[in-house]
């Protein structure tokens, strides 16, 4: 097959203006690969990190890490998918901003009936991230307290609902009163407007001075030290993103001074590298969505040709919930 597909590509690092829509030739899938005709693509902060050069990549390169669509063809060795299957994924290598693509099959998951393509495209990277944060990073039990930054974002609103479904107290932060209310509406027990309150002081107040068991921080540089001040002794800091920039070097002695704290910097793609683990994580996510414990909120939709504007909106913190590119 020599069909072509419109694909978002960047030839140099920089701002959203460098993104280009190009026709790329599709071929037949090789061993361990599929060809998927996509219905919608998800937008994530990691895409902006790659575009800007914070996460270096060989150039030119396609962009995007999650999408949903219909499998058109499978290569040798692929037995969990077949042509005609509905599917969704969060996966490497980047290239999801496209009408269709040939890609490795291991992290592509059968999409259950009853979950739409838009929802599938919006939830895979964010939902699988929440799954590993709550189930695979450090033990979190019913009754524990978690501080979650950016609680009104795509990952955050899933995390608020996930915590509620498992009896976990979630204290969120957000940048406006409206975003705080959105987090509360989705299951956060408390939400702090970090622009009008000292979030670390407020967390201490809400926990009667004890601090939280776990901090989940995707903001990075601007919140890292304050997040450490929110932890109880022996607490765990999970730094899983850099929305405000990378965290500067840390003196490990600071962790001892603040109560023998623990810090980890996980990534989703380490967790889903194993095929069976990825499929198991996806089933947990699908179950949360199918039972109604988690609703995937899509608040922004942009056509593929407006991808640069979508990036500008995301980086300006003007989004809530999930954002998708439509095809």
User: What are the tens digits of pLDDT across the range 70-104?
Assistant: 999 999 999 999 999 999 999 999 999 999 999 99
Q: Tokens representing 258? A: 């603040």
**How many other CB atoms sit within 10 Å of the CB of residue 25?**
11
Q: Tokens representing 22? A: 């190009």
Q: Where are the chain's structural domains?
A: 4-124+269-326, 138-265
Q: Tokens representing 219? A: 């903001």
Does this model's pTM top 0.95? My answer is no
Q: Using 50, 70 and 90 to split pLDDT, how confident is the model at 242?
A: confident
Q: Using 50, 70 and 90 to split pLDDT, how confident is the model at 2?
A: low
Residue 285, pLDDT above cutoff 90: yes
Its CATH class, for the domain covering 138-265, is alpha beta
Q: Using 50, 70 and 90 to split pLDDT, how confident is the model at 1?
A: very low
Query: Any idea which fold 4-124+269-326 has?
Result: Quinone Oxidoreductase; Chain A, domain 1 (3.90.180)
Residue 321, pLDDT above cutoff 90: no
Burial per residue of 266-301, b for 16 or more beta-carbon CB atoms within 10 angstroms, e otherwise: bebbebbeeeeebbebbeebbebbeeeebebbbbbb
């Amino acid at each position: 097959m020599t069909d072509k597909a419109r694909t978002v590509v960047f030839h140099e690092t920089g701002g959203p203006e460098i993104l280009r829509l190009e026709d790329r030739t599709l071929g037949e899938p090789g061993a361990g690969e599929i060809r998927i005709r996509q219905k919608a693509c998800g937008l994530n902060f990691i895409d902006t990190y790659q575009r800007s050069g914070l996460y270096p990549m060989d150039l030119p390169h396609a962009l995007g890490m999650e999408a949903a669509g219909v499998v058109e063809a499978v290569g040798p060795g692929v037995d969990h998918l077949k042509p005609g299957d509905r599917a969704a994924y969060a996966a490497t290598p980047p290239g999801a901003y496209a009408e269709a693509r040939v890609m490795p099959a291991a992290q592509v998951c059968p999409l259950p009936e009853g979950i739409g393509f838009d929802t599938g495209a919006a939830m895979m990277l964010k939902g699988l991230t929440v799954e590993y944060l709550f189930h695979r990073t450090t033990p979190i039990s019913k009754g524990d307290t978690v501080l979650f930054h950016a609680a009104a974002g795509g990952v955050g609103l899933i995390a608020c609902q996930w915590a509620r479904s498992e009896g976990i107290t979630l204290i969120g932060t957000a940048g406006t009163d409206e975003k705080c209310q959105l987090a509360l509406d989705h299951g956060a027990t408390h939400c702090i407007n970090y622009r009008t309150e000292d979030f670390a002081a407020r967390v201490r107040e809400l926990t009667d001075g004890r601090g939280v068991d776990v901090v989940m921080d995707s903001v990075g540089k601007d919140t890292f030290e304050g997040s450490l001040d929110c932890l109880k002794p022996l607490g765990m800091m999970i730094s899983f993103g850099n929305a405000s920039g990378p965290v500067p070097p840390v003196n490990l002695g600071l962790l001892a001074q603040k109560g023998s704290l623990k810090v980890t910097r996980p990534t989703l793609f380490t967790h889903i590298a194993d095929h069976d683990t990825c499929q198991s994580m996806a089933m947990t996510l699908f179950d949360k969505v199918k039972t109604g414990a988690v609703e995937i909120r899509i608040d922004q939709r942009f056509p593929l040709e407006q991808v640069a504007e979508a990036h500008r909106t995301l980086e300006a913190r003007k989004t809530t919930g999930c954002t998708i590119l439509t095809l």
